[in-house]
Amino acid sequence: EMIGLGVAIDYMQQFSWKKIKKYEIDLFAYALKKLIDQVQIIGPADIDKQCGILSFVIDGIHAHDVAEIFSRHQVAVRAGHHCAMPLMTQLNISGTVRLSFGLYNSIEDIDRVIEVIKETKKIFIYYG
């Protein structure tokens, strides 16, 4: 574990935090533009209030079901309350699907997310 942590720290030190934040926000902006008509975004759409994390729901489909389809397509997402159950209750939703962007992500990853969202809708909305 210590060796892995050391390698990760060495890797991260070749970038400035400012560049990392800009890259993550650029990915977020691209994802927001592509997802805005596909899903219901939960949270601020203002890019200046973001940190590279985007949560969403697809009407009529439970977040865990969405995450299962993503998993079957080998796309990693998180689903659930995200330690914010009072917020989910206030929003009257059972949970969200969360995308997290980092240096290891690309525009192609986001395009893949869009493909999987379309596939998920086909399975649950058109055939469900």
Task: List the Cα angle 12/83/124 in 5-degree steps.
Answer: 95
Active site residue 51: no
- 100 forms beta bridges with 53
Q: Which of 14, 83, 92, 127 is catalytic?
A: 83
Residues labelled catalytic? 83
